[in-house]
Amino acid sequence: MKDLKKSGLSPDFLIANVENASHGFGLTEKNYNELSGYGINCFTSGNHIWDKKEIFNYINKAVKLLRPINYPAKTPGVGSRVFEIGDTKIAVINALGRVFMQPIDSPWEILKKEVKKLKKITPIVLIDFHAEATAEKVCLGRFCSELGLTAFFGTHTHIQTADEKIINNMAYITDAGFCGALESVIGMDFATSLKRLQTSLPERYEVADLKVAQVNAVELLIDSKTGSALDIKRILVEIDYNKEDGGISEI
Ligand SMILES: [Fe+2]
């Protein structure tokens, strides 16, 4: 994050999906605190948020962290939060898709109710929809725009899509992409990933621990009075840690 600021980005509010921030699987409390210290305002997650067992010990006191809202009611953690930046309130929701994913409660009715509730507090409502299938993301995106959301960004597939647009005053992108090793299989080492595919035998994924990273993100411009999105831009930056200055360049 310190490096990103060198590239000239200084957002008023920063959201990061951290479901795999701790060496490729889940999120430790130590990493949660570390990332909070870098100025991230809100952490969204997804199906892998449970991968580090210690999550169950701290998720209920992690005030910036969300887990998908459509887990069964007694699941620890929360699926939406309202954050305050000066006089501005920003609501963020996190939800999981159901196509090619583990069985989970339907997000459609839950979102309708949640957005209605949040809109009474603030016109600015954003969602991270963590899902596999592009068609499900496109459909839920359209649905969210009709509910009056400010921004919809998809996550989970790790590959940034080039379809950013404004729909019904809502910023939309099917997938925001990922941050991790540039020469990798969505952040994982090529050798183990290839072995899995070529042999169909179980092989534990290894994180690609390389010195050149990519940062995928989107930058939004929002009208804070109305909650309408004015602009969405894709960010794709390469950071070369072999270079002393961080070697930041646009890809
Ligand atoms: Fe995921």
Distance of CA 78 to the CA centre of its chain: 15
Quote the pLDDT of residue 203: 86
> How far is the centre of ligand 1, averaged over its atoms, from the C-alpha of 225 (Å)?
33
Cα of 205 from ligand 1 centre, angstroms: 14
Distance 79 CA to ligand 1 centre (A): 15
Q: How far is 22 from 126, CA to CA, in rounded Å? A: 25
What pLDDT shows up at residue 1? 47
Would you state the pLDDT for residue 214?
Answer: 94
- Residues shown for the chain: 251
| 8 A C-beta contact, residue 33 and residue 58 | no
Question: Is 48 a residue of the active site?
Answer: yes
Minimal CA–CA distance to 45: which of 75, 12, 76, 21?
21
Q: Quick one: pLDDT at residue 5?
A: 55
What spacing in Å lies between the alpha carbon of 47 and ligand 1's midpoint? 5
Whole-structure pTM value:
0.94
Q: Which of 48, 130, 156, 158 is catalytic?
A: 48
10 Å Cβ neighbour count for 211?
13
Q: How far apart are CA 155 and CA 126, in angstroms?
A: 13
**Ligand 1 centroid, distance to 207 Cα (angstroms):** 15
User: How far does residue 245's CA lie from ligand 1's centre (Å)?
Assistant: 32
d(CA 157, CA 138): 14
pLDDT along the chain (251 residues), means of 10: 59 96 95 94 97 98 98 97 97 98 97 98 98 98 98 97 98 97 93 92 89 95 97 94 76 68
Using CA atoms in the order 22, 130, 77, 118, what is the torsion angle rounded to 10 degrees?
Answer: 140
Neighbours of 240 (CB within 10 A): 15
Report the separation in Å between the CA atom of 235 and the middle of ligand 1, taken as the mean of its atom positions.
20
The residue type of 182 is: L
Residue 192 is encoded by which pair of tokens? 């183990």
Ligand 1 centroid–CA 87 distance in Å is 33
Say how far apart CA 55 and CA 62 lie, in whole Å. 10
